[in-house]
Amino acid sequence: MSNILTVDSIVKQYGDFTAVKSISFKLQQGKSLAILGPNGAGKSTTLKMIYATTTPTSGRVTIQNIDVSANPREAKRHIGVVMQDDLLDTSLNVIENMVAHAILFDMSWKSAQKKAESLLQFVGLSNYKKKEIHELSGGMRRRLVLARALVNDPELIILDEPTTGLDIQSRHVFWNRLETLQKQGVSILITSHYGDEIERLANDVLIIDHGQIIAQGVTSELPSTYGYQDIESAYLGLTGYVEEHDEIEQTVG
Ligand SMILES: Nc1ncnc2c1ncn2[C@@H]1O[C@H](COP(=O)(O)OP(=O)(O)OP(=O)(O)O)[C@@H](O)[C@H]1O
């Protein structure tokens, strides 16, 4: 199976600080990979280098064999992005946000409108298409951003903590849509703080800390490989959270 994404030794330095220290991995066409790591581990910076909003200090990212730094516009045609900051235009209503994004991909107004209608239906927002952005709940906003990320029929969707802050019901709706996309053959790269989300969605998992990969493997196998029961305990144990937590308990006790 061919790789949709190849990340080769990417490094990101901000002055003297190295936020990402030589990360490499591959994502096969149609597969899903989750990146897990504590706050500040370098997850968002890694994703930003992949979707070409930050240039790597060194290393290379290719999407469908297109070098992202050399041809960002061409690479972006193959991806859809759900960032932490949704950047919805609050001066436009729901469907206008969709159409404005579709036009960036050189769609005619008529096909942009048609695409927007069908994607709003896919995420369950057809009845909200004329609503203003401020009238949407947090879960609806997230679903709108997912719909917006799909306007160019991407082969790869990149999501940065898409369900953080959502209630359980909204998280389930969101997962359900991602599962539908997976079944359609779309590849997914996701960061998340939720072990259950990763176990449900991702074929492979990468745990990073302090800008480095500290564990990686098939989601169903990684915990036992490292002597843990599930992804969440593997993550907590491998990133040293448990010890810190114990220290807090000892201090409080
Ligand atoms: N533009 C920037 N300038 C300087 N330092 C930055 C910049 N962006 C990120 N950093 C630093 O790089 C490190 C990694 O940040 P990043 O946002 O990638 O972490 P993260 O794993 O996504 O965390 P979170 O889960 O909180 O989103 C952090 O220490 C952060 O402060």
Residue-wise pLDDT tens for the chain (253 aa)?
Answer: 799 999 999 999 999 999 999 999 999 999 999 999 998 999 999 999 999 999 999 999 999 999 999 999 999 999 999 998 888 999 999 999 999 999 988 899 999 999 999 999 999 999 999 999 999 998 899 999 999 999 999 999 999 999 888 888 888 888 999 999 999 999 999 998 888 889 989 999 999 999 999 999 999 999 999 999 999 999 999 988 655 555 555 555 4
∠ Cα 118 142 159 (to 5°): 95
Residue with the smallest CA separation from ligand 1 atom 5 is 14
State whether CATH 3.40.50.300 applies to domain 1-78+156-165+187-253: yes
Computed over its alpha carbons, how large is the radius of gyration of the chain?
19
Strand, coil or helix: 136:
coil
How far is the centre of ligand 1, averaged over its atoms, from the C-alpha of 71 (Å)? Answer: 25
Instruction: Return residue ranges of the chain for CATH 3.40.50.300.
Output: 1-78+156-165+187-253
Write out residues with Cβ below 6 Å of ligand 1. 14, 19, 37, 39-45
Distance in angstroms (rounded) separating the CA atoms of residues 43 and 36 = 8
Residue with the smallest CA separation from ligand 1 atom 10 is 19
Distance of alpha carbon 114 from its chain centroid, rounded?
26
Closest atom of ligand 1 to CA, residue 12? 12
Residue 169 is predicted with a pLDDT of: 82
Helices (H), the chain: 43-50, 72-76, 94-104, 109-122, 138-149, 168-183, 195-201, 222-225, 231-238, 241-252
Residue of 10, 11, 13, 14 best suited for mutating to test ligand 1, as the one with most atoms within 8 Å of CB: 14
Distance in angstroms (rounded) separating the CA atoms of residues 188 and 197 = 13
Distance in angstroms (rounded) separating the CA atoms of residues 65 and 187 = 15
Residue with the smallest CA separation from ligand 1 atom 2 is 14
Of 12, 19, 26, residue with least CA distance to 62: 26
**Which helix (H) or strand (E) segment is 144 a member of?**
helix 138-149
Helices (H), 51-108: 72-76, 94-104
Residue 57 is predicted with a pLDDT of: 97
How far is the centre of ligand 1, averaged over its atoms, from the C-alpha of 20 (Å)? Answer: 9
Residue with the smallest CA separation from ligand 1 atom 11 is 19
| Residue burial 74-88, b: 16+ Cβ < 10 Å; e: rest | ebbbbbbbbbeeeeb
Residue 119 is predicted with a pLDDT of: 96
Q: Which residues contact 53 (CB under 8 A, 6 or more apart)?
A: none
Residue 248 is predicted with a pLDDT of: 55
Strand, coil or helix: 71:
coil
Distance in angstroms (rounded) separating the CA atoms of residues 180 and 228 = 30
